Copies of this chain bind each other. A is one copy, B any other.
């Protein structure tokens, strides 16, 4: 395997070249399409850009929630629910369980859909599952500084990383108070970070 000759570039890649043949792309509305797309003038490939799914869990143990403190940007040092980009070849629940294992070293069971939050201004959809933490054998993964269980009165609300996490946790405590967990679908409007 050849080593890259450049360091890894962690920025979102610009879509300027055709991934099929390498030619420089042009913006056009293909016939029968209502949107401008990036089209390759050399091979004709149309490059569609679509929203990404973020999948994660609310891992619960005896009424406490398992949170991770982020070891990466954005929001380094802030607390979050374990979640991340869904990968090809997995289901939404598999992805949520995988992210929980990767970020919190934790195993979860009984995943039930809890919230889907549209974050249209960054082309994302965040999907959280309510889940039972399988045991107390958890530990921070490479993307976490620490992982711990919080009772409701201990939640560091002002140190949470993302609005979708805050909204999902509020809904969890509201449902718990009401004695019944529902499924929630909401839309976030553009805001700065919390």
Contact = CB atoms under 8 A, between A and B. Distances in A.
Interface string A59-73: 000000000000000
How many copies altogether? Answer: 2
A39 B8 contact: yes
A43 B92 contact: no
A135 interface: no
Q: Chain A interface mostly helix, strand, loop or mixed? A: loop
A106 to B, nearest CB: 16
8 contacts: A5-B41, A5-B42, A8-B31, A9-B44, A17-B21, A50-B53, A89-B120, A91-B187
A51 interface: yes
Nearest to A89: B120
A92 B102 CA distance: 28
Interface in A1-45: 1-11, 13-24, 26-28, 30-32, 34-35, 39-45
